[in-house]
Amino acid sequence: MSWALVWLIVGIALMIAEVVSGDFVLIMLGVGALFGAGADVLTGNLFVDVAVFAVASVGMLVLVRPALRRRFLAGTGHRTGIEALIGARAIVVSTVDFETGQVKLAGDVWSARSLSEHQPPLQPGTPVTVVEISGATAVVSAEP
């Protein structure tokens, strides 16, 4: 059996094992093993294969792995659910004061109240911004 086939099998086995660990170490070593297989096909020298494997693996661990971890740990950056409504624009449907009112928000009519009890009542048709969601009530503030 040639060393290229051994490197190939080791590389694929490491990549499959990465599915269990999920730490981006085994995948980097697996790619290094594939580089080692390529080096064996080109040179046929085991010492060159090992050197290529070592350099490729260390390079991947130092350069690629941190970038991948940042990318996957950062998330999508998209807000969903109630978080997506904070900062959204709404239109007053029925007069909104500190206790009651309704706004049209994201295509639905929500119960609403104003942010401050000292704020004058907001009349129907007034554009507002959602400051927070308190239960099923949108807390709104008049747009500047």
The mean pLDDT value for 69-96 works out to 85
76 has a pLDDT exceeding 70: no
Return mean pLDDT, the chain. 90
DSSP H or E run through 114: strand 108-114
Note the pLDDT tens digit of each residue in 95-140: 999 999 999 998 999 999 998 888 899 999 999 999 999 989 999 9
pTM of the model: 0.53
Greater confidence (69 vs 110) lies with 110
92 has a pLDDT exceeding 90: yes
DSSP H or E run through 142: strand 137-142
Residue labelled with tokens 């904070």: 86
- As to burial, measured by CB atoms within 10 angstroms (0-12 exposed, 13-18 middle, 19+ buried), residue 112 is buried
Share of the chain above pLDDT 70, in %: 97
Residue 69 is predicted with a pLDDT of 87
83 has a pLDDT exceeding 70: yes
Residue labelled with tokens 């998330």: 75
